[in-house]
């Protein structure tokens, strides 16, 4: 197996992992900020 | 508790960085696969973490369903104790021992049974009432994230090693995809159902969905599959240095999953509080519930999101 091309697959897997985590953490942050806005509206 | 989160977050970041360094630099290169085998340090810990989270979802769902009737709750406790005792003793009985897959130690089966029973009572102790449902949705959602990573990194690893992205009909791969689909449908059910019974329906789905977890785990022992044999407890011969790095990676992933679950749990609790406050506010408005907003019309017992 060509080691240079197999390295590409290794990096792709690691990047994909952190991309999925980043997307999920981003969605959590978005939901938090939406909830904070809702809390402000309820406070009024 | 507020201070604990940032401290844990910093520790987890260090642990993840250390695990990455170990995986890419310290772990020896595989003689057959070369460097691409290092995907194992993300693929396998993600799978183990997903299984653990789905199991937590299962326990929380069972306890949530049982919490409706105290007599069922008491009976369930005794059933779990009995299963724990059977799980502790049975693997050492010669007839049962012969049935265990090659390479699986009776002591590891007994330890797993003990850990699972312990987990059941810990969850029951620290997550009373509605918190069980909040825990269930938290574990399912984070579990789906980790299972997605397994399904993405698996084909990326398979392509250079097997020459194909996916082995159609392979039971390990198919069962994992089905597992992911079951928990995605669990989350979709919770997201889009407005019924007051949503939480119960989702809990029942979770109980049936969890049946797929042992199928995924044991499929490589009992069926012929393209997927390799397990690296731990299955008679595999992994280099101790590789195993060491794999366990470090799993620790790092577990800490990360714990932090994410913590955030998601708090978010869900807050969301339910806001929803209740909105419903109460609409009741107190002049004109009563008839003038309430669409958000406040959501029943108080509705599922998350």
DSSP states of B95-146 as a string?
HHHHHSPTT--HHHHHHHHHHHHHHHHHHHHHS-THHHHHHHHHHHHHHHHH
Task: Provide the number of structural domains found in chain B.
Answer: 1
A1-44: pLDDT as tens digits:
566 678 899 999 999 999 999 999 999 999 999 999 988 887 76
Ramachandran category for residue B107: left, alpha or beta (phi over 0 → left; psi -120 to 50 → alpha)? alpha
Could you tell me the residue range of the domain that residue A11 belongs to? 1-44
Binary contact (A13, B153; C-beta < 8 A): yes
- Whole-number pLDDT of residue A2: 63
User: Is the per-residue pLDDT at B297 higher than 50?
Assistant: no
CATH code of B256's domain = 1.20.120
Rounded to two decimals, what is the model's pTM?
0.87
In a domain, B73, yes or no: no
Binary contact (A32, B267; C-beta < 8 A): yes
Binary contact (B263, A28; C-beta < 8 A): yes
Beta bridge partners of B30: B34
From chain A, the residues in CB contact with B278 under 8 A are 38, 42
B213-224: pLDDT as tens digits:
888 887 777 777
- Distance of alpha carbon B54 from the chain centroid: 3
Separation in Å, CA of A27 to nearest CA in chain B: 10
In a domain, B192, yes or no: yes
- Distance of alpha carbon A39 from the chain centroid: 25
In a domain, B271, yes or no: no
Check: CB of residue B46 under 8 Å from CB of residue B146: yes
B259-281: pLDDT as tens digits:
999 999 999 999 999 888 888 88
Task: Provide the number of structural domains found in chain A.
Answer: 1
User: Is the per-residue pLDDT at B39 higher than 90?
Assistant: yes
From chain B, the residues in CB contact with A16 under 8 A are 149, 152-153, 156
Burial label, B59 (beta-carbon count in 10 A; 0-12, 13-18, 19+) = buried
- Whole-number pLDDT of residue B137: 95
- Whole-number pLDDT of residue A44: 62
Could you tell me the residue range of the domain that residue B141 belongs to? 4-67+129-266
């Amino acid at each position: 197996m060509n080691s240079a091309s197999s390295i590409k697959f290794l990096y792709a897997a690691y990047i994909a992992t952190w991309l999925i985590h980043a997307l999920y953490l981003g969605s959590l942050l978005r939901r938090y900020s939406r909830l904070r806005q809702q809390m402000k509206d309820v406070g009024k | 508790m507020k201070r604990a989160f940032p401290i844990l977050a910093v520790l987890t970041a260090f642990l993840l960085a250390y695990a990455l360094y170990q995986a890419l630099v310290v772990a020896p290169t595989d003689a057959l696969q070369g460097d691409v085998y290092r995907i194992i340090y993300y693929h396998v810990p993600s799978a183990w973490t997903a299984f653990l989270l789905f199991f937590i979802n299962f326990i929380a769902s069972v306890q949530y369903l049982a919490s409706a009737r105290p007599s069922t709750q008491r009976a369930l406790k005794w059933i779990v104790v009995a299963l724990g005792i059977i799980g502790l003793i049975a693997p050492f009985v010669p007839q049962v021992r012969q049935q265990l897959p090659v390479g699986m130690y009776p002591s590891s089966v007994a330890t797993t049974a003990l850990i699972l029973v312990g987990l059941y009572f810990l969850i029951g102790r620290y997550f009373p009432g509605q918190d069980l449902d909040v825990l269930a949705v938290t574990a399912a959602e984070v579990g789906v994230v980790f299972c997605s990573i397994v399904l993405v990194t698996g084909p990326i690893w398979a392509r250079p090693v097997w020459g194909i992205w996916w082995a159609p009909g392979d039971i390990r791969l198919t069962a994992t995809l089905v597992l992911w689909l079951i928990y995605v449908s669990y989350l979709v059910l919770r997201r889009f159902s407005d019924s007051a019974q949503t939480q119960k329906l989702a809990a029942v789905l979770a109980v049936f969905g969890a049946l797929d977890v042992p199928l995924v785990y044991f499929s490589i022992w009992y069926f012929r599959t393209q997927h390799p044999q397990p690296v731990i407890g299955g008679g595999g011969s992994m280099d101790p240095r590789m195993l060491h790095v794999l366990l470090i990676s799993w620790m790092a992933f577990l800490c990360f999953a714990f932090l994410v679950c913590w955030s998601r749990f708090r978010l869900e609790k807050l969301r339910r509080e806001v929803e209740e406050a909105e419903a109460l506010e609409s009741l107190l408005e002049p004109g009563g519930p008839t003038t309430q907003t669409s958000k406040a019309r959501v029943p108080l017992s509705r599922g998350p999101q």
